[in-house]
Amino acid sequence: MPDIDWNLAAWSGGRDWSGEGEAWSQPWGGSEAQWFGVLYPRLHRRLPAPAIMEIAPGFGRWTRFLLPQCTSFVGVDLSQTAIEACRDTFAAASHASFVCNDGLTLPPGGPLDLVFSFDSLVHAEFEVFEAYVPQILARLAPGGVAFLHHSNLAALDPAMDNPHHRARSVSAARLRHLVAISGGAVLVQEVIAWGEFPQHDCMTLFGRRDSFPASRPTLLDNPDSWREAWMIQQYQAPWNR
């Protein structure tokens, strides 16, 4: 199971970060295509956002798209290797700071307009969300939202293969319940495929209940998300650049 020690070992020290995670965007044709084809369409109504926190930026694959969208940015990651790389890469961004944490504790601060995490907390077990969700809600500004990409494996067959090291204790339904009992409101949950596995992951958008008193969760099942990736990739052919 990918617990905090597993994540620390996987993403620190001797980890080969050459390419800075860009290879993970290959199914979409690169991180720029994935940002503009997948993430920005889902977030554009929330952007620009004055104060952004990114949880688990790694080497900054999404940070470079988030920084121009805010006036204050904090990236928090378990891996000192990742934090040092971000400090170096984004040294010219005077509105950005990067903090190494213990995988459970967010830095003080706020109010935050957007908390963002993609392609990281899929490896985080439920205990991490039990720690982070109340802290996120406590830091969100009125009207602010969090967008977290996480595992949905707890909803699937416990015997299924897990080559992408997803957390088996997390599902869309478990996260939705956690957000609700923590004083939040889930706005949208989109269950997505990863590779050949339908319903493998989920993206959850939520805010404070007092910011969205009348909202009801929009629950989306998107088994075609990997086909969408392929479609987006077709627009990125090298001979079209």
Binding residues for ligand SAM (CB under 6 A): 4, 7, 11, 21, 55-58, 61-62, 77-79, 82, 101, 103, 118-120, 123-124, 128
Minimum Å distance from CB 181 to ligand SAM? Answer: 20
Minimum Å distance from CB 165 to ligand SAM? Answer: 9
Lateral strand order in the sheet of 96-100: 96-100, 72-77, 51-55, 112-117, 140-151, 197-208, 184-194, 218-222
For tokens 């004083």, the residue is 183
- Rounded distance between C-alpha atoms, residue 85 and residue 60, angstroms: 8
Ranked by CB distance to ligand SAM, the top (closest) residue is 58
Return the number of the residue (125 or 211) whose C-beta is nearest ligand SAM.
125
- Rounded distance between C-alpha atoms, residue 18 and residue 24, angstroms: 12
Return the number of the residue (118 or 206) whose C-beta is nearest ligand SAM.
118
Return the number of the residue (59 or 206) whose C-beta is nearest ligand SAM.
59
Residues 226, 192, 235, CA angle at the centre, nearest 5°? 30
Return the number of the residue (67 or 185) whose C-beta is nearest ligand SAM.
67
Return the number of the residue (90 or 118) whose C-beta is nearest ligand SAM.
118
**Would strands 218-222 and 51-55 be described as parallel, antiparallel, or unpaired?**
unpaired
**Residue 97 β-bridge partners:** 74
Residue 209 is which amino acid? R
Burial of 234 (0-12, 13-18, 19+ CB in 10 A): exposed
Going by C-alpha positions, the residue among 151, 109, 122 that lies closest to residue 56 is 122
Minimum Å distance from CB 216 to ligand SAM? Answer: 29
Return the number of the residue (145 or 185) whose C-beta is nearest ligand SAM.
145
Return the number of the residue (73 or 185) whose C-beta is nearest ligand SAM.
73
Instruction: Assess contact for 67 and 116: CB atoms under 8 A.
Output: no
| H runs (alpha helix) in 35-125 | 40-43, 63-66, 80-89
Minimum Å distance from CB 121 to ligand SAM? Answer: 6
Minimum Å distance from CB 183 to ligand SAM? Answer: 21
Minimum Å distance from CB 166 to ligand SAM? Answer: 12
Minimum Å distance from CB 34 to ligand SAM? Answer: 9
